[in-house]
Amino acid sequence: MHDIVSAAANFIHLDVVNVLYLFAVGFVGGLVSGFIGSGGAFVLTPGMMSLGVPGLVAVASNMCHKFPKALVGSIKRAKYGQVDVKLGIVLGISAEAGVLYGAHIQEGIKKSFGDAGSNLYVSVAFVVILAVVGGFILRDAWKTYRSGNMHEEEEKVTKLARWVQSVNIPGTMVYFKSLNAKVSVLFTIPLGFATGMLAATIAVGGFIGVPSMIYVLGAPSLMASATELVIAFVMGLGGSFKYALHGLVDIRLAMIILAGSLFGIQLGAIGTTYVKPFMIKVVMGIIMVIVLFSRGLMVPVYMSQLGLIHTLGETTVKALKSTSFAIMALALLLGAFIVLRAMWQGRRAERAATQEVLEHGKI
């Protein structure tokens, strides 16, 4: 009973400013999610905590806004023929297992090394994964840009993906429409698992899920980012239920963020129909690399708390924390700006083409 009372006491008082703030962050997060399949969570969780929401309630509430958002986004993108439901569900189920295992590791680290140890683990995971995967995506996007192929609708399937698609392990092969090939589930399971583990660690599984679908399985960027929404739905639903069993979901926070993010996700999904597949990689890569710097700034703070380096002054810690959060917010805003700009340009080009055809028609 004590737990229940303390859990209920975790729910903060909401005023108009808080509501507007959550709505706005939800909108921007939704816009980016609708476009690249994930994102927003890394700002939302610390954003809620800055309002005084306890960490676990922030994570739980974030997850409870994520699954309905992903559901609405995936339905919208399915209308554009971009979703591979089967691949999403297969990856989503193994991602669920990854979430549980990732949470288990987190608990173990927290028990052994305390909050600072757990935060250090999260930040190092952020930096290493985002550096490797984000760097790779940006390099690929840059190569496409340099080669002048960025206007091509067809993307080249990587050598790795061609090999994965060529391996035949009887009894494990499943046909996926996004790949237009049969792939062994023995390849998809570890990818889903890694996506889930990352989601449990840094709250954004898509940073593994989307690139792995593109580069390891050979899915087109647009389909990978749309299918990620199905994975996010499966993972989010299971995760939300798990947290809800312990009474940790603040449904008011979750639904206010959802109110903003459902405007954003519809717009982000519409945006994907105006851009070249190459833009998905650009937005994702840029966000990942900027967030990397944001988390990198926090590494010395946690190291000092663990006594691994000399203790940092209170002012330094505060400055690092604020800068880190500001950079993270910047990453999301920049992502949203690129999405809106690309959409605006796409719409303008389409209108111009239509106008041209009309004028030709008159002549």
Partner 1 sequence: MVSHITRRQGMANSYGSSKKKPIGGMILFGMVSFALYAVLLVKQDMVNEYIGLGGLYAFFPILIAFIISFVHGSFTGKFWTVLGIEASKRKKEVK
Binding site for partner 1 (CB under 8 A): 4-5, 7-8, 10-11, 14, 64-65, 67-69, 71-72, 75-76, 79-82, 153, 220, 222-223, 237, 240-241, 244-252, 254-255, 258-259, 262-263, 266-267, 269-270, 273-274, 277, 346-347, 350, 353-354, 357-358, 360-361
Round to whole Å and give the CA distance between 315 and 321: 10
- Choose between 82 and 195: whose C-beta lies nearer to partner 1: 82
- Is residue 243 within 8 Å of residue 60, measured between CB atoms? yes
**122 versus 222: smaller Cβ distance to partner 1:** 222
Q: Give least dist CB 3 to partner 1, A.
A: 8
Q: Supply angle C-alpha 140, 141, 143, rounded to 5.
A: 65
In the block, residue with structure tokens 């974030």:
62
CA distance 46 to 165: 40
Least Å distance between CB 43 and partner 1?
A: 20
Under the phi-then-psi rule, with left for phi > 0, alpha for psi from -120 to 50, and beta for the rest, what region is 190? alpha
Q: What is the nearest approach in angstroms of partner 1 to the Cβ of residue 240? A: 6
> With respect to partner 1, which residue has the nearer C-beta, 38 or 240?
240
The separation between CA 346 and the C-alpha centre of its own chain, rounded to angstroms, equals 24
Question: Which residue lies nearer to partner 1 by CB, 279 or 291?
Answer: 279
Query: Angle at CA 106, nearest 5°, toward 249 and 109?
Result: 135
SS3 182: strand
Contact 84, 223 (CB under 8 A): yes
| Closer by beta carbon to partner 1, 17 or else 357 | 357
* Minimum CB distance to partner 1, residue 276 (Å): 10
Minimum CB separation of residue 346 from partner 1 in Å reads: 6
Distance of closest approach, residue 6 Cβ to partner 1, in angstroms: 9
* Identity of the residue, 68 or 134, whose beta carbon is nearer to partner 1 in the bound complex: 68
